């Protein structure tokens, strides 16, 4: 099969054997989405080698322990836990100490013709959810997963910093919980995507001191150190800052501000897939506006180069070509 692989510091489309299932389900990938994490891996920041990609929709080819899903269109939770630790037994392998993560940690990923995951990780895609929409389940789950950790109610004033793919999804998802969501970014064209969902759009250059210390919850989704500094300026005393993206290097930050204002800092990574599928099924979030371009898997290296360009949102790979 074909797979987009990062090995020895080089990204190439390679012909490799089909994955050994070892009791897991075999999924034929239909489409996969390029994520900023993929770009970080290709830049050498994450220390991963192998097939990249973790956002996908596919069709189950085999699943010995769950034959009823064979032939079904599915998405898959990306964290594959050991299945026996307390976290896994409680149904949440996202922090299993022995977990592998699809296309990120110890497990080949989704930018390929086929992939393997435990069958318990797979969720069937509703008929009215398109393949393009289903590709967004993982990042939408990550965005909506903020509500697992931080209470967002209609009265909550929320600011999302960063108008990239993740920031837009965070703003659109949280706008379902509160009408008081603002997206702060640098690009009017991107901000307008969230404004269609009732989100207030604010250019970073238009921030004023009157907006400082105003928001109950600030989501840092820019992936930049300056974004965290802006979050500290915007959050009210005893408010919460949610760190939703990572960036390369060691950050410096105003610890005294965090202490004096008693700010809570929350790290947020993966969310559950089922709520994200429900949002897509009911049409609550329009993700198609985030798609900029689609490439055949055979053009995977060019697709990564396109995704790296400034201003580009979601690039999708089509695995059957």
pLDDT, tens digit (0-9, with 9 covering 90-100), for 123-139? 999 999 999 999 999 99
The pLDDT assigned to 247 comes to 64
Q: At what angle do helices 165-174 and 137-144 cross, to 10 degrees?
A: 60
In a shared domain, residues 132 and 150: no
What is the DSSP pairing of strand 235-243 with strand 215-220? Answer: parallel
In a shared domain, residues 65 and 118: yes
What is the DSSP pairing of strand 314-318 with strand 25-33? Answer: antiparallel
In a shared domain, residues 279 and 242: no
What is the tens place of the pLDDT at every residue in 10-42?
A: 999 999 999 988 899 999 999 999 999 999 999
In a shared domain, residues 87 and 188: no
In a shared domain, residues 12 and 70: yes
What is the tens place of the pLDDT at every residue in 205-247?
A: 999 999 999 999 999 999 888 888 899 999 999 999 999 876 6
In a shared domain, residues 186 and 305: no
What is the tens place of the pLDDT at every residue in 156-168?
A: 999 999 999 999 9
Domain boundary among 226, 243, 267: 267
The pLDDT assigned to 253 comes to 76
The domain that holds 113 is classified in CATH as: 3.90.180.10
Q: What is the pTM of this model?
A: 0.94
Instruction: Looking at the chain, list the stretches that DSSP marks H as alpha helix, in order from N- to C-terminal side.
Output: 36-42, 86-89, 131-134, 137-144, 146-149, 165-174, 188-195, 225-234, 255-260, 273-281, 300-307
Q: Cα–Cα distance between 85 and 87 in angstroms, integer?
A: 6
In a shared domain, residues 210 and 307: no
Rg of the Cα atoms in the chain: 20
In a shared domain, residues 244 and 295: no
Q: Based on the structure, what is the number of domains in the chain? A: 2
Range of the domain at 214: 146-267
């Amino acid at each position: 099969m074909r797979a987009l692989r990062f090995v020895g510091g080089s990204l190439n489309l390679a012909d490799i054997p089909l994955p050994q299932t070892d009791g897991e389900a075999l999924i034929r990938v239909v489409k996969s989405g390029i994520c900023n994490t993929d770009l970080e891996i290709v830049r050498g920041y994450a220390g991963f080698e192998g097939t990249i990609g973790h956002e996908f929709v596919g069709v189950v080819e085999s699943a010995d322990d769950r034959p009823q899903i064979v032939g079904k269109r599915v998405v898959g939770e990306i964290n594959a836990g050991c299945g026996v630790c307390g976290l896994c037994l409680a149904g949440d392998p996202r922090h299993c100490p022995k977990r592998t993560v699809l296309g990120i940690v110890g497990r080949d990923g989704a930018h390929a013709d086929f992939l393997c995951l435990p069958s318990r990780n797979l969720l069937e895609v509703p008929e009215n959810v398109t393949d393009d929409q289903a590709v967004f389940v993982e990042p939408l789950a990550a965005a909506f997963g903020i509500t697992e950790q931080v209470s967002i109610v209609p009265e909550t004033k929320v600011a999302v910093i960063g108008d990239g793919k993740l920031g837009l999804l965070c703003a659109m998802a949280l706008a379902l919980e509160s009408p008081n969501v603002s997206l702060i970014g640098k690009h009017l064209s991107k901000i307008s995507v969230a404004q269609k969902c009732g989100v207030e759009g604010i250019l970073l250059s238009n921030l004023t001191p009157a907006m400082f210390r105003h928001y109950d919850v600030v989501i840092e989704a820019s992936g930049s150190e300056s974004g965290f500094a802006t979050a500290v300026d915007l959050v009210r005393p005893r408010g919460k800052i949610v760190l939703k993206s990572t960036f390369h290097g060691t950050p410096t930050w105003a610890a005294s501000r965090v202490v004096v204002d008693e700010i809570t800092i929350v790290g947020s990574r993966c969310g559950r897939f089922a709520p994200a599928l429900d949002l897509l099924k009911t049409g609550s979030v329009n993700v198609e506006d985030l798609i900029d371009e689609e490439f055949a898997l055979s053009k995977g290296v060019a697709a990564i180069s396109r995704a790296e360009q400034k201003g580009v949102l979601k690039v999708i790979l089509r695995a059957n070509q």
